[in-house]
């Protein structure tokens, strides 16, 4: 049953990416991708709090997961501001936005699915919820590449 | 598994799904600048929540 719930979250996140994946231009694609990342982080935070409160994450594991989300969020802010600045300066076409997205992805190279937790339950849960954050991050480049130039 | 944790996780999961559905709907109707503003607010809220989590 828990697996079904996890799949529901993963599916919903996947749907969010897929259904929002028809942007009109690379600027919109980049901003939508950034918003997807923010939403995925928001969805992951309660799981860390609840697992920690329940004693299923120790201090170090909590700090590692929270630190990952913090890095992603700060990089997401930097990415989005760069995208808006590029748009405001008249940048068009996919190449510049793809480069910004790739820099964003490269700035957070950590794969959270490689984190090791003492609890097998936590391991499954966080492979899913932090994996969804990683998936939303990696999806931005594809979203922009599939965007049509206005 | 602790029944309270199961309930909390179920609620968190439902909340996440509803948020994402709402998110999908809103992205289709908003301008790009409006989506950027929403993402700005969400990132700030996320950072506040993460800080609280680290200090917990």
B6:A2 CB<8 A:
yes
Of B19, B27, B1, residue with least CA distance to A8: B19
Shortest CA distance from B10: residue in chain A: A5
B24:A20 CB<8 A:
yes
| Residue B1: predicted pLDDT | 63
Domain count, chain A: 1
**Among the ranges given (A61-65, A91-95, A100-104), the one the predictor scored with the smallest mean pLDDT:** A91-95
B27:A20 CB<8 A:
yes
Give residue B3's pLDDT band: very low, low, confident or very high (50, 70, 90): confident
**φ and ψ of A56, to 5 deg:** -95, -5
pTM: 0.80
Of A33, A49, A15, A131, residue with least CA distance to B49: A49
- Cβ atoms of B16 and A43 within 8 Å: the answer is yes
A150 vs B: CB within 8 A: no
Structural Rg of chain B based on CA atoms: 15
Give residue A18's pLDDT band: very low, low, confident or very high (50, 70, 90): low
Model confidence pLDDT, tens digit, residues A23-73: 668 999 999 999 999 999 999 999 999 999 999 999 999 999 999 999 999
- How long a stretch of residues is chain B? 56
Supply the range of the domain harboring residue B43: 3-55
Domain count, chain B: 1
Q: For residue A89, what is the DSSP state?
A: T
Q: Measured between CB atoms, which of A9, A31, A36 is closest to B36? A: A31
Q: For residue A119, what is the DSSP state?
A: S
Supply the range of the domain harboring residue A63: 2-146
Q: How much is the ipTM here?
A: 0.82
Please say whether the dihedral angle defined by the alpha carbons of residues A2, B24, A13 and A110, taken in this order, is positive or negative: negative
Q: Which helix (H) or strand (E) holds B29?
A: helix B3-29
| Residue B24: predicted pLDDT | 63
Whether A147 has a pLDDT exceeding 90, the answer reads no
């Amino acid at each position: 049953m828990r697996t079904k719930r996890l799949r529901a979250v993963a599916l919903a996140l996947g749907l969010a990416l897929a259904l929002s994946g028809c942007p009109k231009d690379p600027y919109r694609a980049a901003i939508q991708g950034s918003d997807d990342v923010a939403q995925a982080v928001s969805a992951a935070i309660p799981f860390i709090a609840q697992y920690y409160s329940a004693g299923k994450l120790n201090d170090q594991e909590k700090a590692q997961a929270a630190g990952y989300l913090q890095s992603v969020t700060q990089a997401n802010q930097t990415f989005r501001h760069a995208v808006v600045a590029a748009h405001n300066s008249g940048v068009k076409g996919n190449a510049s936005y793809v480069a910004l997205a790739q820099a964003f992805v490269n700035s957070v190279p950590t794969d959270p699915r490689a984190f090791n937790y003492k609890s097998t339950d936590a391991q499954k849960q966080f492979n899913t919820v932090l994996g969804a954050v990683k998936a939303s991050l990696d999806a931005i480049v594809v979203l922009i590449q599939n965007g049509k130039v206005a | 598994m602790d029944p309270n944790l199961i309930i909390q996780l179920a609620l968190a999961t439902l909340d996440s799904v509803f948020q994402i559905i709402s998110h999908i709907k809103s992205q289709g109707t908003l301008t790009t600048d409006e989506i950027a503003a929403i993402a700005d607010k969400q990132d700030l809220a996320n950072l506040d929540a993460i800080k609280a989590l680290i200090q917990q």
